[in-house]
Amino acid sequence: MVAWKNLDTLDSYQALQETKGSVKLTEVMAGESGAERVRKYAVPMAGGLSYHYAAKKVDDVILEKLAALAKEAQLCEKFEELYNGAVINLTENRHVLHHLCRGQLGKQVMADGVDKREFYKGEQDKIAAFANKVHAGEITNEKGEKFNTVVQIGIGGSDLGPRAIYLALENWAATHNTLKMEAKFISNVDPDDPVGVLRGVDVEHALFIVVSKSGTTLETLTNESFVKDALEKAGLDVSKHMLAVTSETSPMAKNSGYLAAFFMDDYIGGRYSTASAVGGAVLSLAFGPEVFASFLDGMAAEDKLSAGDDPMKNPAMLDALISVYERNVLGYPVTALLPYSQALSRFPAHLQQASMESNGKSVNRFGESMNYVTGEVIFGEPGTNGQHSFYQLLHQGTDIIPLQFIGFRKSQNEKDVEVKGSTSQTKLNANVAAQMVAFACGKTDENPAKCFAGDRPSSIIIGDQLTPEACGALLAHYENKFMYQGFLWNVNSFDQEGVQLGKVLANRVLDHNTDGALKEFAALFGI
Ligand code: F6P
């Protein structure tokens, strides 16, 4: 029987408090001890990746206590409940089924009278058949010409994940001759977004996918109208250019004006929807269904590892445990996500939503207030660009910000140059290795301005190359990490009530139903 308890009621959490300050990276990461830690503190992941945590402020004693916490918090059992179809999202009375989009981890899950794995797989198959017809020129524009571009219209989870993964695999697909269509994305209700994107699109040869689970999101519906307008002005039949991805119960599902419609449902949270039709349609059209299937295979393989009960062999669980240790014992509220891979340029933006919308909660899953902090602020940029931007504060600022690096031995392209005896890829990776040691060990200097205190924790996920499988494994790792963090904090990671108030007030402004400060702020914009 699973017991959902607050973190501070667990004995193993109290035991962890005693370890605060017991590991000094400046000491343990120096010399042979540091080398030994790098060799020892690593765990394999799926997709050829591995998670390395030698430069985190843990040792065997702390890791043992974290394992005890995992056991007492019943992390493994909670995940098992989730993938076996329990109603984990209590506030919205919903199952949490995104794992079923990439595999069957446990029992058959029946909901709404159907087998949910079959349903998600069925939509994937429909998308694959559709994408193959588009690529083969069997589905064309009115002139019988092939489509060459796909434009996704959506926001939040209906934009960030698919966009991040498209960018992550675009170069890989081009190198492997499987970039079938260029993809673009429109999300912001700022008219400059659709105008800017449409400027670079030959609408006559473009398919537009309107993606909204609810079918009611103001930004998305507005941008849909914007695009329809552009199509009409170009003299094109809108219904020959527009697809929908939505839930079967949404208003969009009842609209017959789309060339095709693909479905997900309320059991797939927006920020967890990349594996569903939300990511499936655009990624299958852009790269071909086989590439999307490989990406899902990577996710499924990582999910399997994430279901294991030994945290030392379960990278997502271990990463979550260490991050909660950093947040609740060491008191660090921010995490920087630093991919040393240009392809992952939008990955931090996606993880911002996935983490912060999931775990930015002040009440536990039963609506009770808690006596500890939750959630983490995530930000990040690809290295080495970040090094020339905000790393100054990371190295010498007064706050300690834990770091999560991601790196790959090989780039996605064959092309590289050798300058001063090393390739660009080698330079990139030399930088990430150097940063980890610089953050951990620091440096003394007579000049205080040149001192580096060190003792700044970091971890790294390393892979051979950012392939579709590796990319899937990476995404699943983070999705599962955020889930485990939520279990530890005892919050509902699958609702997002915090986004509602702003939406309600924005609608009041649009309805001219304002008073007080709202009226005055609106007046500053001439509304
Ligand atoms: O406003 C937040 C949110 O509900 C996200 O959780 C979601 O990803 C996004 O809006 C878009 O929602 P939809 O897919 O229903 O348009």
Read off the pLDDT of residues 269-287 as tens digits, 9 standing for 90 and up: 999 999 999 999 999 999 9
User: Within a 10 A sphere around the Cβ of 480, how many other Cβ atoms?
Assistant: 24
Structure tokens that stand for 5 in this block: 């308890």
- Catalytic annotation, pick one of 224, 357, 376, 381: 357
Write down the catalytic residue from 20, 107, 133, 388: 388
7-75+308-410+423-493 and 114-294 agree in CATH topology? yes
Give yes or no for residue 492 CB within 6 A of ligand 1.
no
The reported pTM is: 0.98
pLDDT at 53: 98
Looking at residue 56, its amino acid is K
pLDDT at res. 414: 86
Three-state DSSP class for 399?
coil
- The pLDDT of residue 233 is above 90: yes
Quick one: pLDDT band at residue 256, thresholds 50, 70, 90?
A: confident
Q: What is the pLDDT of residue 446?
A: 97
Residue from 89, 153, 185, 213 to probe ligand 1 pocket by mutation (most atoms less than 8 Å from CB) = 213
Compute the distance from residue 149 Cα to the ligand 1 centre, in Å. Answer: 24
CA distances from 98 to 101, 270, 422, 524 (A): 6, 10, 43, 43
Q: So what's the pLDDT on residue 1?
A: 87
Please tell me the distance between residue 255's alpha carbon and the centre of ligand 1 in angstroms: 20
Q: What is the pLDDT of residues 481-513, one digit of tens each?
A: 999 999 999 999 999 999 999 999 999 999 999
**Top-tier CATH class for 7-75+308-410+423-493:** alpha beta
What mean pLDDT comes out for the span 65-87? 98
| Average pLDDT over the chain, rounded to an integer | 97
Domain ranges of the chain: 7-75+308-410+423-493, 114-294, 496-527
129: CB partners within 8 A, 6+ apart: none
State whether the beta carbon of 50 lies less than 6 angstroms from ligand 1.
no
d(CA 368, CA 492): 11
pLDDT digit string, tens, across residues 29-66: 999 999 999 999 999 999 999 999 999 999 999 999 99
Residue with CA nearest ligand 1 atom 3: 156
Averaged over 465-474, what is the pLDDT? Answer: 98
Dist CA 520 CA 436 (whole Å): 49
- What CATH number was assigned to the domain covering residues 114-294? 3.40.50.10490
Q: Quick check: CB of 273 below 6 Å from ligand 1?
A: no
8 Å CB contact between 320 and 358:
no
Angle CA(222)–CA(351)–CA(323) in degrees, nearest 5? 150
Judge contact between 241 and 206, C-beta under 8 A.
Answer: yes
Burial 22-54 (b: 16+ CB within 10 A, else e): ebebbebbbeeebeebbeebbbebbbbbebbbb
Ligand 1 pocket residue status of 117, Cβ below 6 Å: no
Three-state secondary structure readout of 349-396: HHHHHHHHHHHCCCECCCCCECCCCCCCEEECCCCCHHHHCCHHHHHH
Question: If you average pLDDT over residues 162-174, what whole number do you get?
Answer: 98
State the virtual CA torsion across 276, 277, 278, 282 in degrees, nearest 10.
120
Query: How far apart (Å, rounded) are the C-alpha atoms in residues 356 and 77?
Result: 24
Query: Which amino acid type is present at position 370?
Result: M
Region 464-480 average pLDDT: 98
* 357 in catalytic set: yes
Helix axes 160-175, 289-306, angle to 10 degrees: 120
Residue 206 has pLDDT above 90, yes or no: yes
Ligand 1 in contact with 157 (CB < 6 A)? yes
Which helix or strand (DSSP H or E) is residue 61 part of?
helix 60-72
